[in-house]
């Protein structure tokens, strides 16, 4: 191997390593489990010659793993600039539908399973069940479909006209009274509720199915229905 070809090989290895590190970082930032990256570097033009100073890399376009563009630059008056095309594939352990899921169905843990899938073209795939359980499917899913963030919506837990329970607690004392929802809302939404006992209308926060708490109370953790 000549001096020039050895230098070109080192530049190619640096481009490959930089692309791999970037994609793993992006996958981990997205919360994907056990990301694996396969990278292939395509040289543009002649091989990069030797450089007297450390070669610098510039990410030109890294939006699509299947076609990334990275430039290698040799600084100085006699320097050079070469562009590389990087073709990569990213896979991870992500949630898929374990069974047919109808549109608007609220998802439970039993509806989901983890499988290794290619996610290069599915940037909104999800690995953690807690991000999904309790959400509703925007549209029907087939068994084996990757569960995607944009395919989920927060379900309406309280509808206008519903009978609801108003839960209030202070210093370990909890009180539950009946009420009527005057608005609909998802978890965390502020709605108007009429107290069935005295007719007063209050602002309340939706905390569970048909369950609210006064809006001036601290935000609760997801509530479980009392027995």
Inside any domain, residue 227: no
Q: How far is CA 164 from the centre of its chain?
A: 32
Q: Are both 16 and 84 inside the same structural domain? A: yes
Q: Are 204 and 190 in contact (CB under 8 A)?
A: yes
Please say if the pLDDT value at position 182 is more than 90: yes
Inside any domain, residue 226: no
Q: Are both 198 and 130 inside the same structural domain? A: no
Please say if the pLDDT value at position 219 is more than 80: no
Could you say which of 90, 111, 129 is where a domain stops? 90
Q: Are both 85 and 98 inside the same structural domain? A: no
Q: Are both 65 and 125 inside the same structural domain? A: no
DSSP secondary structure letter of residue 160: T
CATH number at residue 177: 2.30.30.760
Please say if the pLDDT value at position 71 is more than 90: yes
CATH number at residue 144: 3.90.1210.10
Task: Provide mean pLDDT across the span 125-145.
Answer: 95
What is the domain range of residue 199?
Answer: 156-214
Q: Say which residue, 44 or 175, is predicted with more confidence.
A: 175
Could you say which of 90, 117, 144 is where a domain stops? 90
CA dist., res. 71 & res. 126, Å (int): 32
Give ∠ CA 44-49-54 in degrees, rounded to 5. Answer: 105
Cβ-based neighbours of 60, under 8 Å, separated by 6 or more: 69, 70, 71, 83
Could you say which of 107, 133, 153 is where a domain stops? 153
Inside any domain, residue 222: no
Q: Are both 111 and 85 inside the same structural domain? A: no
pLDDT confidence of residue 212: 95
Q: Distances from the Cα of 136 to the Cαs of 15, 83, 107, in angstroms? A: 42, 45, 6
Inside any domain, residue 225: no
Tally the domains of the chain.
Answer: 3
Task: Provide mean pLDDT across the span 96-106.
Answer: 95
Q: Is 114 exposed, middle or buried (0-12, 13-18, 19+ CB in 10 A)?
A: middle
Q: Are both 86 and 147 inside the same structural domain? A: no
Listed residue (152, 159, 144) closest to 189, CA to CA = 159
Inside any domain, residue 10: yes
Q: Are 107 and 139 in contact (CB under 8 A)?
A: no
Structural tokens at position 51: 């450089």
pLDDT, mean over the chain: 89
Inside any domain, residue 112: yes
pLDDT confidence of residue 45: 64
pTM of the model as a whole: 0.72
């Amino acid at each position: 191997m000549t001096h020039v070809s050895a230098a070109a090989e080192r530049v190619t290895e640096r481009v490959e390593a930089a692309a791999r590190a970037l994609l793993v970082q992006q996958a981990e930032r997205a919360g994907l489990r056990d990301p694996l990256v396969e990278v292939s570097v395509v040289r543009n033009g002649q091989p990069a010659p030797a450089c007297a100073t450390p070669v610098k890399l510039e990410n030109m376009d890294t939006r699509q793993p299947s076609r990334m563009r990275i430039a290698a630059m040799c600084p100085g008056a006699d320097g050079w600039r070469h562009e590389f095309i990087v073709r990569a594939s990213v896979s991870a352990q992500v949630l898929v539908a374990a069974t047919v899921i109808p549109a608007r169905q609220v998802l439970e843990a039993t509806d989901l399973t983890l499988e290794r899938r290619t996610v290069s073209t599915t940037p909104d795939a999800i690995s953690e069940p807690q991000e999904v359980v309790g959400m509703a499917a925007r549209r029907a899913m087939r068994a084996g479909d990757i569960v995607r963030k944009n395919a989920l919506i927060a379900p309406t837990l309280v509808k206008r006209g519903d009978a609801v329970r108003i839960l209030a607690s202070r210093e370990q004392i909890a009180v539950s009274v009946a009420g009527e929802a005057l608005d609909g809302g998802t978890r965390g939404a502020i709605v108007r509720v009429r107290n069935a006992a005295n007719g007063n209308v209050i602002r309340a926060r939706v905390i569970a199915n048909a369950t609210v708490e006064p809006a001036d109370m601290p935000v609760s953790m997801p509530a479980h229905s009392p027995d």
